[in-house]
Structure 1
């Protein structure tokens, strides 16, 4: 979720669900340890629970980065072994590490030893010409042996040569059965299914089939009103938050004003809110008004309220 789940996105998503675990964008251990980019760790307490997603392949460096994440107050440290982007491969981390479970285990062992909070792993079922049914059980067993008890498994291979990061999210076929088989092989581990889940009904089906969790990325981002607003009730069996989508927009206004007062731009926040009314009458006008006006120098909370008005004006009168 690089360039997607920044702190503005997470603050917004937390207003939709009080229970869903949110993840940061992937932050590299070199950026934190060697680059001193501690601003990448900033988040609002209101966002909790939040997992810090790290990328790296040096055990000592990852251990230090995990400590920094723990000190910053994150609820979990997650090592990304699933991202297929070129810049991640060039740094020898992300999905390319599926080829080296021994190194991943060493990284996780060092992080666990150094960090007072839980260390988890997000992975693929394999990369390139690997046979997932062979490599995935070995990968999980070795990394679990290092002390990791929670895995989120993207049920697709990553093709590091020949497919772009975007194509890697859609073209490799999903193999949910293999991920479910891992739950049978490793019943004591907490395993979450990731990849291609677009509705809460699909998430419930995976949970009923035996998975411990479900990670939803793109659908939760592009249709947050459909996924996150009902997650507390459907997934966690709790009462849904007593607010409408418009209530959420108005609850964002103080945050938006504070961000702008601090020198920020409206579009940095509202770009994450464009899909809130997806599928609702007038949603196109909400999205268009913000897309066309949020970048303007005088854009502010009033621009967001104007977008609501545009949406209402476009709705049919019954």
Structure 2
């Protein structure tokens, strides 16, 4: 894929190339478990400039190849792969009988709490819709995305949005200006179900001490105000992730990195989603560059990204 230049049209003789962004949950409140075993959440998503790329070309079967700049670990290349599931779902929905060869180039950390797999699925929906000429509208693509996973609709939409329900019920959030982040990924990913399980166990163990939770999770008004104002300092004060405490209990070494980042000039640091990627909010672009240099000098792998950016788009 590295030798393929940008594709100017939605589809070409060389197939379709689509990129979709990773995300940061700048706010995540986790509610109770529903009857189907899922947690109700309220989250504020921001898409950031760390992308997955999917290149789709016609083939007899649906296959996937995965490369990337990140540790790929146990990314599946069979029907367990979310991109393969996206292609199959689109084909089944539209009656397409042909296949597709998917080549995925990953830069979003695997199992890192940034929705990389969801971005792959969103990019695949857009790519296959263009490749096969199925012409589904955005509303139908969003419905298919929601069937694939809670974060897939946001990867399709991008920008900044509020997610409720399981995170897949999106409403737009007004966001002004640009927010600069420094990410510190970890080579060893974390299982989202295990982190949620650790949160549930903590709540059961400390039920007497923990105040009763709201039945309906909601994003704090301070977060919405900070996004509307484009005020990084205000947003830093409002960052929250209910999964952070269990993630830190499962991976205690992350706490020291959070402290390092905040001492190095970050306005605030937060565990991204279910972790283990850490996201540090900087005051501006220059501050983010300085922070990345400082963290790199401390021996950490640090990346400077910004948001909000667009969702899945052909390139």
Q: Does TM, normalized by the shorter one, top 0.5?
A: no
What TM-score results when the alignment is normalised by the length of structure 1? 0.30
> Who wins on radius of gyration, i.e. which is larger?
1
Which one has a larger percent helix, Structure 1 or Structure 2? 1
Structure number with greater CO (CA < 8 Å, separation at least 6) is 2
